[in-house]
């Protein structure tokens, strides 16, 4: 899946994954993770997620990585913040208030570029990637984090043959296969969310679950 695919989705406003409110699993489980309120939180493939606002309101500086300049611009516009872009290696850096978004390809990001990360949050990154990129993604996340760094991962579970992604189905056994070597992985919740996602029912799904995982870097 090429970068042009996602850039075109933003240009065409095909952004059905964007939620108009904070994710309930973030509100429910983040406070249970024991993360320092001042910890800098990494949000890969962040789009213009409102969840970054929820994190910032609790004291966290937020680092997002996002391919689309439209998403970055709209996020800061939503918050009425002026973020003057600047070149940062292979990225364009947008920063204002507690937020920093590096516009560019996630796979170009290095630990040195990212800087210190105290926690991480993935609601829509892993499930946006086809199978051949998920191993690279998990390895890159592990390489960004110091031992003990905690994160929250939310995945979608459904019969992949019933709907073409994205979002892709990522089942619990795949989460373990991707992350067990580098993380302690704990399933916190699995919930049927079919009724709340009619657009996916229209695309052919008869059952959709969300799974929420706590991951701690070994």
Give every strand in the sheet of 86-88, ordered side by side.
Answer: 86-88, 91-96, 99-103, 62-66, 41-44, 119-122, 150-157, 209-217, 183-192
Q: pTM for this structure?
A: 0.94
Distances (CA, A) of 14 to 6, 35, 70, 108: 9, 34, 12, 25
Residue 191 DSSP class: E
Helices (H), 13-68: 24-29, 51-57
Average pLDDT over residues 119-144: 96
Percent of the chain with pLDDT over 70: 93
Average pLDDT over residues 42-55: 96
User: What confidence tens digit (pLDDT) does each residue in 158-198 have?
Assistant: 999 999 888 999 999 999 999 999 999 999 999 999 998 88
Domain architecture of the chain: domains with CATH: 3-12+22-217 (3.40.50.150)
Distances (CA, A) of 30 to 19, 66, 71, 83: 18, 22, 24, 27
Average pLDDT of the chain to the nearest whole number: 93
């Amino acid at each position: 899946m090429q970068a042009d695919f996602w850039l075109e989705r933003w240009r065409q406003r095909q952004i059905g994954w964007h939620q108009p409110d904070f994710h309930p699993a973030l509100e429910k489980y983040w406070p249970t993770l024991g993360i320092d309120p001042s910890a800098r939180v990494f949000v890969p493939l962040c789009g213009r997620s409102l969840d970054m606002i929820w994190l910032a309101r609790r004291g966290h500086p937020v680092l997002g990585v996002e391919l689309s300049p439209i998403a970055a611009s709209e996020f800061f516009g939503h918050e009425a913040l002026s973020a003057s872009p600047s070149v940062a290696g292979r990225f364009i850096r947008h920063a204002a208030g507690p937020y920093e978004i590096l516009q560019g390809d996630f796979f170009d990001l290095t630990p040195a570029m990212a800087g210190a990360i105290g926690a991480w949050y993935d609601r829509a990154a892993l499930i946006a990637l086809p199978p051949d990129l998920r191993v690279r993604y998990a390895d890159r996340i592990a390489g960004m984090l110091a031992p003990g760094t905690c994160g929250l991962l939310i995945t979608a579970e459904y019969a992949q043959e019933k709907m073409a992604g994205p979002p892709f189905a990522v089942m619990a056994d795949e989460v373990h296969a991707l992350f067990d070597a580098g993380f302690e992985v704990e399933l916190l919740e699995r919930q049927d969310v079919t009724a709340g996602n009619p657009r996916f029912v229209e695309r052919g799904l008869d059952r959709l679950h969300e799974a929420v995982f706590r991951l701690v870097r070994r």
